[in-house]
Amino acid sequence: MKSAEMSEIVRREESAPLTIEDAAQGLRVAPVMSGLWLSIAARRSLRSLGSVWPSAIALLALLLLWQGYVVASGVDQQLLPTPGAVWNTLVAQREALWANTLVTLWETVIGFAVALATGIACGVAIDFSPWLRRALYPLLVATQAIPLIALAPLLVLWFGWGMTSKAIVVTLMCFFPIVVALADGLRSADPELLKLFRSFGAGPLRVFWSARLPGALPALFSGIRIAIAYSVIGAVIAEYVGAAAGLGLYMTLKQHSFSTAGVLATFFVTALLSFALFALVALVERLALPWYYAQGRAISL
Express each pLDDT in 101-147 by its tens digit.
999 999 999 999 999 999 999 988 888 888 888 888 788 888 777 78
Single out the residue of 156, 210, 222 nearest to residue 183, CA to CA: 222
Q: What is the pLDDT of residues 233-269, one digit of tens each?
A: 989 988 888 777 889 889 989 888 888 888 999 999 9
Question: Do 108 and 91 meet the contact criterion of CB atoms below 8 Å apart?
Answer: no
Domain match, 107 and 170 both: yes
Domain match, 110 and 182 both: yes
60: in domain: no
pLDDT value for 170:
93
Separation between Cα atoms, residue 272 and residue 264, nearest integer Å: 12
Domain match, 179 and 230 both: yes
* Full residue range of the structural domain in which residue 88 is found: 83-300
266: in domain: yes
Q: What is the pLDDT of residues 145-196, one digit of tens each?
A: 778 788 888 888 888 788 888 899 999 989 999 998 998 888 887 777 777 7
Domain match, 48 and 89 both: no
At 245 the three-state DSSP class reads: coil
Separation between Cα atoms, residue 164 and residue 167, nearest integer Å: 5
140: in domain: yes
128: in domain: yes
Number of structural domains in the chain = 2
Domain match, 48 and 111 both: no
Q: What is the DSSP letter of 76?
A: -
